Structure 1
Amino acid sequence: MKRVLLAMTLVALALPGPATGARSRQAFDIVPLGVKGGLEEGETTAWYIASAGSRRGVACDAGTLVPGIRAGIRAGAFGRGAKVADVLHDRIGAYLITHAHLDHVAGLVMASPDDTAKPIFALPAVNAALAADYFNGSAWPNMADRGPAPRLNRYTYRDLVPGAPPVPIAGTGLNVSAFPLSHGGTVSTAFLIRSGADAILCMGDTGPDAVERSGALALLWTAVAPLIREGRLRAIIVETSYPDPRPDGQLFGHLTPRWLHSELSRLADVAGSLAGVPIVIGHIKPDLSGSDTVERRVMAQLAEPGGPEAHYIQAQQGQALHF
């Protein structure tokens, strides 16, 4: 039976893993800075991820920064006495951008004049889109180190080679590798973020392989399966944008509970079990009513039969998670 955490306030979570002793300690601190899939400014996708107990980490996507940091501070997620400027300037040591859609980068663009110098890690096509479409001197001043002059060099683009060995992220104790995802014709990314022997998978927007006519998720599942078998994959952050039923022709490169069940079943087949891997759900697309009806439908459908045994968590903006 699946266990779904529907509480509006999430608390620290530590789940036993399949490998003896592998999960006897926490490895990652996560603060969801934005968890919605569009529509509502100030809540779109961004995740603060750090090694457990570290005061410096990364932002995996940056659709929301300052409003999400404020929500985290109100909830006590960044510790006593935390200030917005300290988190933005110092605790976020780098950006990992899955793709250049506005709901994943708006916070980065808006905060850039008041930010400190940092690298942006992304696949080459994603960094190219940031340079061409945002930091281009027209849509926004060029805050980075490529593209039209004047280049303000606030940000340094760091291109990642798909599937290459992990790259260190200076000052964080983390390293990262990137795996392409298919998102309705747009290149998206899954980042495998490592802290020592442990890892967390932060996935950008993706459609199911069968609809996308892609093998991207199959390759990703093969890559992370050994970590699951060893009890080293601490969590998977993944989108579930729409409730079912939703026609495949209107997914626009996204997942529903039915399709997430299908994909995670393929992962479980490769890895053996997902029983010890929390599945953190984000990017649920709200409706104009402002109610939580859509979120409740998605989470209830994930609790229904049809997928592997898994622990689903609905992320809430500002509420810390620990794995």
Structure 2
Amino acid sequence: MLYHLLYPLHTLLGGLNVFRYITFRAICGALTAFVIVLLLGPLFIRTMKKFQIGQVVRDDGPETHLAKQGVPTMGGMLILFSIMLSTFLWARLDISQVWLMMFVTTFYGGIGAYDDYRKIKKKNSKGLSARGKLVLQVAGASAVGLFIILLPGFDGHLSIPFLKDFRPDLGWFYVIFAILVIVGASNAVNLTDGLDGLAAGPTVVTAAVYLVFSYLAGHAVLANYLQLPYVNGSGELSIFCGAIFGACLGFLWFNAYPAQIFMGDVGSLALGGALGSVAIIIKQEFLLAIVGGVFVMEALSVILQVGYFKLTHGKRIFLMAPFHHHFEKKGWHETKVVVRFWIVSIILGLFAIATLKLR
């Protein structure tokens, strides 16, 4: 909004010319989201306590988690509010991809909010049924996939790091691929959100990496030089990614151990869906498996555990899934698990950026 209000006046006030630069607006978007969460966080926590909107802890988890029962949850609403407001203020609103991202984030946030509501109402950790959640997630992801392939100049080729000459064309099957990426990312972040600060940290790293790639994908010259798919208008998604970065960084102020508030499914499902959608729009889908390696690891641990349990009639690969609980069961303190997962995420983020020159 500020771009449309202030940039046209740059002929009168030369300083307003700065609003034309995506880098400037991305930084401002990140700072704005960070400040919003930091300022509204205490009030939000008090409000959640007042209405007794607290975490419902699974009874089969680590015993140390029982102390988290009743800690305010649904902090994802604060994260999403700051992301949306920051994006609205600093992004160009005449770019369709910006509105698409705000739609899919809100839609997935709605799914998570309803899931959280059912958990709190029933006083258990079940929430929305897995089938019901999946149907809604697929519906939202389908809308993104259809929107993308109907855009003028749509390119159905996949972009695979390290393989610049191998770009298979999926055509209309790209919609199915988009659904797998977005739904998978949403559930992976959701599964990761099990310890204080565990999901927010890797999300900060992933958002920062996609901020860079969004900017490059929207810059014709740089995209061509780095052999990246050029996507017209995608540079504005840098502001959106910056807002995710700032919002999650601000949320960590309150979510770090011992957490004063949890993001809940309203946050984790929405953030995962948002990151998956950005990956789809800028044609960097496989990059998400690298920079979001922590999320992938968590999701795979659950899939392997469940599959092996059924095949062997009760045997387990891990002491407990998702993967972070395995280390807790081995005696690691929660903060050690979280910080080490953050370290892995940062290393993966650096490796993802390094793929720019490894093509």
The TM-score normalised by the length of structure 2 is 0.23
More strand by share: 1
For the pair shown, the structure with the greater C-alpha radius of gyration is 2
More helix by share: 2
The TM-score normalised by the length of structure 1 is 0.25
